[in-house]
Structure 1
Amino acid sequence: MIESLITSKTRTRLLLKFFLNPDTRAHLRGLADEFGESTNAVRVELNRLSEAGLLSVAPEGRTKVYRANESHPLFPEIRSIAAKTLGLDRVVEQVVRRLGNVELAFVTGDYAKGVDSGLIDLVLVGQVDQAYFHDLVAKAEALVGRKIRGLVLSRVEFGTLKERFKEDAALVVWSADGGPFTAG
């Protein structure tokens, strides 16, 4: 979807990386290695996004560190487009709508970091029917064309593992008190 609007594959990857998880910080060489692109190709796109005010740049020693500019007026919209590009909105809608008592849904792993690896790690907190959950995950996989690895945690289990999820990238895609894409 986004590829038809933004013809630069590198720019698309940068937008997904930085806007899906705004806490992501990265430097030129690390991004070039991750994307398998030349440093020049990545530098050009980083400069364009920085000049547009979509990325903020901070010196860190002899390198520049980039991150999403959360104060940019288009930040919420670009973040929503990035999530929709990966199909997260459809996954959440398909899985959460009919499951029962879901308090929180979030994505961890590569997708939370903005890397399109083809595997979405989806974590639900609440009480749900496991068999029904796995059936919905299979349907959502067919819808978005990606493998979904689902995990359901009780509130107690989540409380025990909460600190671990804070250390890893975690992208909240739905919460009972705020609906989809309000936290993150």
Structure 2
Amino acid sequence: MLDYLITSKTRIKLLLKFFLNAEARGYLRSLAEEFGESTNAVRVELNRLTEAGLLEAESEGRMKVYRANKKHVLFGELHSIVKKYVGIDRLVDDVLQHLGNVELAFITGDYARGIDSGTINFTIVGEIDEHYLEVLIKKSESLIGRKIEVTLLGREEFNKYREKFEQQKMLVVWGEIK
């Protein structure tokens, strides 16, 4: 989701690096190597984030070392966004890869509209192990601090209600609508 809001992949990597773990530090060349990006692309984004006050830079010898500015008014919110971004992605991957034949998974309701109401409406299309899903959902709810309501559909049932789903906001997190 963060990549829809922020189109620069390098900026996303920097935000994840510095705001997931507020103690993280890095310098230009090490970050470029870590991300597999050119030093110029990383430099541009480091400069933008530093000018915005989100990152702090200090010289250590001949190197400039960057870290998150914990005093910035948006630090807490960015830290929270990054944790959610990583948490949801990890949970989706971990849960869906072990359920069986999942063709499509998407989020609807408040969360898909950008409203954090505390309940994630999750729809899964495919043939899955429902008992195992219940176990994973309970674990996931405690990890992310949100209630997860799941709707399970077979392909035929999804096709029957497809138009209804497409009329509302939905965020596809696994597979693609065919």
What is the TM-score of this pair, normalised by structure 1? 0.50
Q: Counterpart in 2 of 1:75? A: 75
**Any idea what SS the aligned residue of 2:57 has?**
strand
Residue 87 of structure 1: how far off its partner (Å)? 2.1
Q: Counterpart in 2 of 1:86? A: 86
Counterpart CA distance in 1 for 2:4 and 2:137 is 27
Residue 136 of structure 1: how far off its partner (Å)? 2.7
Q: Which gives a bigger RCO, structure 1 or 2 (Cα 8 Å, sep 6+)?
A: 1
Decide whether the 8 Å contact of 1:83 with 1:89 is kept in 2. no
Cα distance change, pair 28–63 in 1 and its aligned pair in 2 (3 A): same
Letter of the 1:60 counterpart = E
Q: Counterpart in 2 of 1:2? A: 2
Counterpart CA distance in 2 for 1:90 and 1:33 is 24
Letter of the 1:77 counterpart = E
Counterpart CA distance in 2 for 1:71 and 1:41 is 26
Q: How does 1:42-61 map to 2 (within 5 A)?
A: 42-61=42-61
Q: Determine what percentage of the aligned residue pairs are the same residue.
A: 63
Aligned length: 103
RMSD over aligned Cα atoms: 3.0
Decide whether the 8 Å contact of 1:84 with 1:90 is kept in 2. no
Q: Counterpart in 1 of 2:116? A: none
Residue 138 of structure 1: how far off its partner (Å)? 9.7
Counterpart CA distance in 2 for 1:39 and 1:136 is 41
**Any idea what SS the aligned residue of 1:7 has?**
coil
Residue 15 of structure 1: how far off its partner (Å)? 0.3
Letter of the 1:11 counterpart = R
Name which one, 1 or 2, has greater alpha-carbon Rg: 2
Letter of the 2:51 counterpart = E
Letter of the 1:33 counterpart = E
**Any idea what SS the aligned residue of 2:67 has?**
strand
Q: Counterpart in 2 of 1:20? A: 20
What is the TM-score of this pair, normalised by structure 2? 0.52
The answer to whether structure 1 residue 34 and structure 2 residue 34 are counterparts is: yes
